[in-house]
Structure 1
Amino acid sequence: MESRINDSKRKRVVVVGGSIAGLCCAHSLLRSEWLEVLVFERARSVTAAGAGLGVGPRACDALRSWGLGDALESSSLPLSMEENRALDSKRNDPVVIKDETYDHRAVHWSDLHRLIHDALPAGIVRWSHEVVSFAELREANGEPRVRVKVSKLGGAENESNVEEIDADFMVSADGSMSQTREKFIPNESRRYSGYCAWRGVLETSSEHAQEVAETVKKAYPDLGKCLYFDIAEGTHAGLYELLKKRLNWLWYINQPEPQLKGKSVTLKADEKAIKELHEQAQRTWPPELAKLMQSTASPFINAIFDREPLGQFVWGRVVLVGEAAHPTTPHGLRSTNMSIDDAFVLGNAIAKWGPDQIEVALDEYQGERVPAATREVLFSRHLGKLKQGLLIPGIDWLQAEQNLKEQLLQKNVHSFQPSEL
């Protein structure tokens, strides 16, 4: 069938990174039929890594607009409630505050990644390819371009593995340690939050795990629709259910900044660290939650970082999205949601302004996303400090003023003012 798009109007975009942010950008940008999209990703394929996450209403609407609504529904469970509880053995009711209009979906990171990937046309994503450099240039007619050098990984070390690709603009979705961001903002430091998070997912494939899960559900009766937070002195934990009766948990522990190797913020726990985790869980949490942590195979540790918010996401024809633009702490469940929001806004702006107004479209994207991302990064930082006892040490949440209790709810991200810090 003959193309309806004039060849002179065809444009190309290179997306750096094939994680959720990059793949969502591909979906959103493909709405513009005049745009060719290429995604380059270092990894060999979609993996089963990661843990659970919550997808908010705006991000769900974006996924549905790209035709992914049915896949999302079949891969996730509703999170219609958020409940914050405080540990105090002297009180029968541990609930500090709840939100019954939470309206999220709970999904495993790898399940979401796979469903987004599998819905893309073949040939869009090029696995085992690394963007090693890029340069902005102008053609003889003055038209701006981005020349990208891409290396195919796993082959012989020779020049034939490097390909030069010219694009009309480049979207950098290469994560919180983005090399693209480093080029524009050299020597920038990330900010350690003061705590790390243990994370795990209990797979209920064994009889023992099923018994543990049933015990946990008696103590947390709204699992399957509720995001629970338990708050103890100087620490807090989160718990919710994923599809296939899996229980996703995380526990934030104040500690000095760990020594990390390379760029990853994920630490593999050894037997000694896991034993100490189990012992500390018994001392800190209700027996049901402690047993859940003790029964989870291969828990891992994330060191929690963010960065100071940026005043721009666009440099010429290069645009940052996702964690490359706004690394954030996880307390507002914003990281993946912000990535999807970025992709949605970027794709809409490109479609609105068309092939001859790319700079205008990128400027519109930046104008909408920079203030929103700034608010969300600072809100998540504030919420983490509050729940970890770093803002108000020793607070009795069950006796706190109502306006302070309200600050525990994630829905406050929409009205949060950075001056509140």
Structure 2
Amino acid sequence: MSSTAAGYKFKVAICGGGISGLCLAVALNRRCPDIKVELYEATDRFKEIGAGIMIWSRTWKIMELMGLAPELSKIAHAPPDGSMGTGFDYRRSDQPQEGFRFHWVRMPYGCIRFHRAHFLDIFVDQLPPNVARFKMKLNSYSQSHRDGPIFLNFSDGTTSTCDILIGADGIKSTIRAQMFQEASERESRPELLDFIKPVYTGTTTYRGLIPIKSLNSLPPNHRAIADPMMYCGKSKHVVSYSIAKGDIVNVVTFASDITKEGTQYEDGDSQWVTECPQQELLDCYANWEPEVEQLLQRIEKPTRWAIHHLKPLPFYVDGRVALIGDAAHAMSPHQGAGAGMAIEDAFVLAHVLEHATASTLGSALEAWQKVRLPFGNHVLRGSYESGVMYEFNSDMGDNYDVLGPAIEKQWHWVSETTPEDEVARASEYYKELSG
């Protein structure tokens, strides 16, 4: 039965129930009742890895446009009100004596923070029934021709079809792997195979959560309670910020060997996240300023993470298959941009698809890619470069007079355009491509 005969324009299959996949499903169901949406999640429930999440003003604008801001305000570290706030407070901290601020980045709304699970739940609550399907791991997809229906093959032996397939399946995306494998063979371009696997950034991270009450006992109150902090040292830095309405401080530490960026992680794909003893964390940051040691001493059960990212992809779209979120531009977390970029991918794509027809789907995806590909790759590169700066490994070293403004310039993408600008540009491209 055709989509039209079934009562909808076309069918969108979304593989992956993380932030990007859920946001797209919610946006399409709100804006486009004449588009059928099915969301396939490989696990038995929606879940996110990690504790803290931050977004910036441009993403908050999307939340307002989607009508989600009132609910999100209830679970933020504090209700966002548009006033100027701290993006990050940068300190030199890798010495036993008290450190010092060398730069302070402020921006409208500041850094808006959430507990990751609470953030995801807002989208889950907005999802209509019968859209999500669990324990549906995609093994492969196939197309008889690039403008025809897409056939989906799942690990449990079931199959389905769709008119558009959206790969929201994360940094280890199955859909990205098949897309670039097929493009490599079709175009005789073996270099495309290099974009399939994530690469190690050279950075190891330790993560932990601290109940706010355990910091309130310190005289005076710890500055990490009030503002997002960036404690910087040579080849290392420590990030802290409050989440869960200010009840918890999320701490993420980084230790880097920039010579290993772009290499294969020595422990392979299966050991990116492991538990580790507290002493390992404390030893890594021994002789740092007292307030950093005070934080780390309160992380009883840290986890160790190997930070990976993607090489900037040459395309996100192949025929009627598209990649969004981490499947398209998984990045290091140094600008807190991953979630916001995933949401913006979904928001812009939903607007373009709203005006598409079954015969113009290819044009819609190409228009979306024309806007999102250069932006996604720009932020991916910039996020890694920012981490290098925080750890005094850039050409500027620790020349604070030059380094501070350079770090601040890295954030210009937050305000250079707006989500409405991105939608308008994609819509114009769609009109041009669809004739």
Deviation, structure 1 residue 228: 1.1
Specify which of 355, 372, 377 is matched with residue 375 of structure 2: 372
Q: Who is 1:99 aligned against? A: 105
2: distance between equivalents of 1:199 and 1:146?
Answer: 40
Specify which of 128, 150, 168 is matched with residue 163 of structure 2: 168
Q: Who is 1:242 aligned against? A: 243
Specify which of 115, 128, 149 is matched with residue 135 of structure 2: 128
Alignment size in residue pairs: 385
Q: Contact between 2:337 and 2:379, CA under 8 Å: does it hold in 1?
A: yes
Which amino acid letter does the alignment assign opposite residue 100 of structure 1?
A: R
Deviation, structure 1 residue 231: 0.8
Q: Contact between 1:216 and 1:292, CA under 8 Å: does it hold in 2?
A: no
Specify which of 350, 354, 358 is matched with residue 353 of structure 2: 350
Which amino acid letter does the alignment assign opposite residue 98 of structure 1?
A: W
Specify which of 196, 203, 227 is matched with residue 211 of structure 2: 203
Q: Who is 2:256 aligned against? A: 254
Stretches of 4+ moved more than 4 A in 1?
5-9, 88-93, 255-258
Specify which of 267, 279, 282 is matched with residue 278 of structure 1: 282
Q: Who is 1:41 aligned against? A: 41
2: distance between equivalents of 1:16 and 1:170?
Answer: 8
Structure 1: gaps spanning 5 or more residues: 152-160, 205-209, 417-421
Specify which of 315, 334, 346 is matched with residue 331 of structure 1: 334
Q: Does 1:322 align with 2:325?
A: yes
Q: Who is 2:61 aligned against? A: 61
Secondary structure of the corresponding residue to residue 308 of structure 1: coil
Which amino acid letter does the alignment assign opposite residue 282 of structure 2?
A: H
1: distance between equivalents of 2:175 and 2:140?
Answer: 9
Return 44-53 or 104-113, whichever deviates more: 44-53
Structure 2: gaps spanning 5 or more residues: 182-192, 417-435
Deviation, structure 1 residue 339: 0.5
Q: Who is 2:433 aligned against? A: none
- Report the aligned-residue RMSD: 2.7
Q: Who is 2:26 aligned against? A: 27
2: distance between equivalents of 1:48 and 1:23?
Answer: 12
Specify which of 170, 173, 177 is matched with residue 172 of structure 2: 177
Return 379-388 or 338-347, whichever deviates more: 379-388
Secondary structure of the corresponding residue to residue 77 of structure 1: coil
- For residues 307 and 212 of structure 1, do their structure 2 counterparts lie closer, same or farther at Cα, with a shift above 3 Å needed? same
Q: Contact between 1:14 and 1:169, CA under 8 Å: does it hold in 2?
A: yes
Which amino acid letter does the alignment assign opposite residue 67 of structure 2?
A: G
- For residues 315 and 88 of structure 1, do their structure 2 counterparts lie closer, same or farther at Cα, with a shift above 3 Å needed? closer
Q: Who is 2:432 aligned against? A: none
- For residues 89 and 279 of structure 1, do their structure 2 counterparts lie closer, same or farther at Cα, with a shift above 3 Å needed? closer
Which amino acid letter does the alignment assign opposite residue 252 of structure 1?
A: F
Q: Contact between 2:147 and 2:362, CA under 8 Å: does it hold in 1?
A: no
Q: TM-score, normalised by structure 2?
A: 0.81
Q: Percent of pairs identical after alignment? A: 21
Q: Who is 2:233 aligned against? A: 232
Question: 1:187-226: per-residue Cα shift (whole Å, max 9, x none)?
Answer: 424332222111111134xxxxx233442872417x34x3
Q: Contact between 1:240 and 1:249, CA under 8 Å: does it hold in 2?
A: yes
Deviation, structure 1 residue 354: 4.0
How is 1:110-121 mapped onto 2 (pairs within 5 angstroms)? 110-121=117-128
Q: Who is 1:158 aligned against? A: none
Specify which of 197, 200, 215 is matched with residue 192 of structure 1: 200
Specify which of 141, 146, 152 is matched with residue 150 of structure 2: 146
Q: Contact between 2:150 and 2:161, CA under 8 Å: does it hold in 1?
A: yes
2: distance between equivalents of 1:64 and 1:137?
Answer: 41
Q: Does 1:218 align with 2:221?
A: yes
Q: Who is 2:75 aligned against? A: 75
Question: 1:53-88: per-residue Cα shift (whole Å, max 9, x none)?
Answer: 211222222223333212211111248212111137
Q: Contact between 1:252 and 1:388, CA under 8 Å: does it hold in 2?
A: no
Which amino acid letter does the alignment assign opposite residue 294 of structure 1?
A: Q
